[in-house]
Amino acid sequence: MAGELKTARQAWSVLIVSTLAFTVCFMVWMMFGVIGIPIRKMLNLNSTQFGLLTAVPVLTGSLIRVPLGIWTDRYGGRIVMTVLMASTVPAIFLMGYATEYWHFLTIGLFVGLAGGSFSVGTPYVARWFPRERQGMAMGVYGAGNSGAAVNKFVAPVLLVAFGWAMVPQVYAAIMLGTVVLFWLFSHSDPSHLVPGSVKFSDQLKTLKDPKVLRYCQYYSIVFGGYVALSLWMVQYYVGEYGLDIRVAALLAACFSLPGGVLRAIGGVLSDKYGAHSVTWWVMWVSWICLFLLSYPQTEFTVVTVNGPRSFHIGLNVYTFTALMFVLGIAWAFGKASVFKYISDDYPRNIGAISGVVGLAGGLGGFVLPIMFGALMDLTGVRSSAFMLMYGVVWVSLIWMYWTEVRRTAVMGEHASPSPLATAP
C-alpha cells in the first residue's frame, strides 16, 4: 500500500514538473512569434522571409522528435529531458546578440531543439499512469502548449520596456532555472524502459502503416496548424487591424491559450468517448471556422434602381477573435485525441510512434508559416493563410470518412444483419 502511494506521488510529481518544463520549452520555441516583428522591421524582410524566420526553430524541433522519442524509450525521460533543455540555454542567450538575417536563422536552428521536448515528455508521463488514464496524463502534459500564450504575455512587456534583445536573455535564465527544478522533482523507473534494439531507420518504417500516416495527417492540422498560427497571428492582427503589438499579442493569446490549456480536457474526453469521436467533431468544427476565417475583406458595388451602392463584407476584430478562440479549443481537443489513438494502438511503442507523428505535426508547423508568407506575397490577401488551412482540413475529413467512418458503418452492417434477412 505504501509503495502504491509513493508511486502515485511520483507519478503526479513527474506530470506536474514535466508540464512546467514543456510550457517553458514551448514559450522559447514560439519566441519569434513576437520578437520577429521588430526584427522584421530592422532587417526589412518580406512576408516569405518573415515566415522562414519564424519557422526555422520549428524545423529542428520537429526533425529531432523521432530520435528523442526513441532515446526516451531507451534511456528514460528524466535524463533526456534534462540534457535537451540544458543544451538550448547557450543558443537562447546568444539570440540577443544576433544582427544579421543569417545569424537569426542559424541560432534559431539550435533554439528550436526545445520543441523536441514534446516527444520526450509524452511517453515519459504516459508510462507513469494506467492505460485508462493515459489520455488524461498526455492531455495535461500537452497543455504545456500554452507556453505559446505565455510568450504572448511576457515577450511584449519585455520588448516594449527593454527592447527585443532582452527577451531571449530572460528566456535563457528561465530555461536554466527550469532545468534545475525538473531534475529535482522528476523521477526514474527502470521498468518503463524498452529494449534498445530499435533503430531510427526502423521507426521510419512505421510510416508504411496506414494508421500512422493518417495520424500524421490529423496532427499536421491540430498541432502544425496551431504552431503556424501561433507564430503568424500577432503580425496578422498588426497588419490586418492596425493594432499595437501588445494588444495584438493579447488577442492572439485568445487562440493560443485555450489551444494549449484545454488539451487536458481533450484527453479526458478521449478517454471517455474514444479518440475517433473526438477527432471527427474536431475536424468539422475546424472546417466551419476556417471557412468563415478564409473570407477576405471585400468591397463591392451593386447597381440599384437608386444608383450604385457600395458594400463591405469582412470579419471585424471581435468576430475574428471569437472564431479563433473556438478554433483553438477544437485543436486543443484534437491534439489530445490523436495521441489517444497512439496510446491505444501502440502501447509498447508510444515514444517512437509519438516521435513520428510529432515530426509530421512539427513539419506542418514549419512549412505552413513559409506558405502563409508566400501566399501573402503572391496574392496580397492575408486571409489566404486560412484558405490554405481550410483545404488541408478538407483532405483530413475525406480521408477520415473513407478509412474510419464508412468502414465502421460497413463492419456494423456485416456484424448486425437486417431483421428482414433472418425473417422466416
Contacts of 238-242 with CB under 8 Å at 24 or more apart are 238/37, 239/382, 240/297, 240/382, 241/317, 241/320
Inform me whether the pLDDT recorded for 206 exceeds 90: no
Q: Are 238 and 110 in contact (CB under 8 A)?
A: no
Confirm whether 73 is domain-assigned: yes
- In tens, the pLDDT along 148-177 reads 888 888 999 898 889 999 999 999 999 999
Q: How far apart are CA 327 and CA 62, in angstroms?
A: 23
Q: How far apart are CA 153 and CA 30, in angstroms?
A: 12
- Looking at residue 407, its pLDDT comes to 62
- Looking at residue 413, its pLDDT comes to 45
Confirm whether 107 is domain-assigned: yes
- Looking at residue 408, its pLDDT comes to 60
- In tens, the pLDDT along 104-145 reads 999 999 999 998 898 898 889 988 888 778 778 887 888 888
- In tens, the pLDDT along 37-91 reads 999 999 999 989 998 998 899 889 888 887 888 888 888 889 999 999 999 999 9
- Domain tally for the chain? 1
Where is 312: in which H helix or E strand? strand 307-313
Average pLDDT over residues 261-275: 83
Q: Are 154 and 27 in contact (CB under 8 A)?
A: yes
Q: Specify the amino acid at residue 289.
A: C
Question: Residue 316: which of 246, 250, 398, 240 has the closest Cα?
Answer: 240
Q: Are 69 and 349 in contact (CB under 8 A)?
A: no
- Looking at residue 419, its pLDDT comes to 39
**Pairwise pLDDT comparison (374 vs 73), residue with the higher score:** 374
Mean pLDDT of the chain: 85
Cα–Cα distances in angstroms (integers) from residue 139 to residues 25, 151, 317, in the given order: 17, 20, 30
Q: Are 231 and 371 in contact (CB under 8 A)?
A: no
- Looking at residue 290, its pLDDT comes to 95
**Pairwise pLDDT comparison (347 vs 277), residue with the higher score:** 277
Q: Specify the amino acid at residue 409.
A: A
Confirm whether 52 is domain-assigned: yes
- Domain housing 286: 2-188+201-408
**Pairwise pLDDT comparison (195 vs 236), residue with the higher score:** 236
- Looking at residue 274, its pLDDT comes to 86
Q: How far apart are CA 386 and CA 229, in angstroms?
A: 9
Confirm whether 231 is domain-assigned: yes
**Pairwise pLDDT comparison (202 vs 36), residue with the higher score:** 36
Cα–Cα distances in angstroms (integers) from residue 383 to residues 156, 281, 315, 360, in the given order: 24, 24, 10, 24
- Looking at residue 298, its pLDDT comes to 86
Average pLDDT over residues 285-295: 93
Inform me whether the pLDDT recorded for 265 exceeds 50: yes
Q: How far apart are CA 320 and CA 338, in angstroms?
A: 27
Inform me whether the pLDDT recorded for 288 exceeds 90: yes
Inform me whether the pLDDT recorded for 2 exceeds 70: no
Alpha-carbon dihedral sign for residues 216, 221, 222, 226: positive
- Looking at residue 276, its pLDDT comes to 84
Q: Specify the amino acid at residue 171.
A: Y
- Return the residue matching grid coordinates 529531458: 81
Q: How far apart are CA 419 and CA 355, in angstroms?
A: 47
Q: How far apart are CA 218 and CA 220, in angstroms?
A: 6
- Looking at residue 5, its pLDDT comes to 67
- Looking at residue 199, its pLDDT comes to 63
User: For the chain, how big is the Rg over CA atoms in Å?
Assistant: 22
Inform me whether the pLDDT recorded for 409 exceeds 70: no
Inform me whether the pLDDT recorded for 423 exceeds 70: no
CATH code of the domain covering residue 173: 1.20.1250.20
Confidence band (pLDDT; 50, 70, 90) for 268? confident
Q: How far apart are CA 341 and CA 356, in angstroms?
A: 14
Q: Are 341 and 275 in contact (CB under 8 A)?
A: yes
Cell of 99: 544582427
- In tens, the pLDDT along 296-314 reads 888 888 998 888 988 888 8
- In tens, the pLDDT along 11-44 reads 899 999 999 999 999 999 989 988 999 999 999 9
Confirm whether 11 is domain-assigned: yes
Inform me whether the pLDDT recorded for 291 exceeds 90: yes
Q: How far apart are CA 246 and CA 37, in angstroms?
A: 12
Count of beta carbons in the 10 Å neighbourhood of residue 306: 6
- Looking at residue 285, its pLDDT comes to 94
Query: Any residues with CB less than 8 A from the CB of 349 and at least 6 apart, and which?
Result: 73, 194
Cα–Cα distances in angstroms (integers) from residue 405 to residues 222, 279, 389, 391, in the given order: 19, 11, 22, 20
Q: How far apart are CA 337 and CA 345, in angstroms?
A: 12
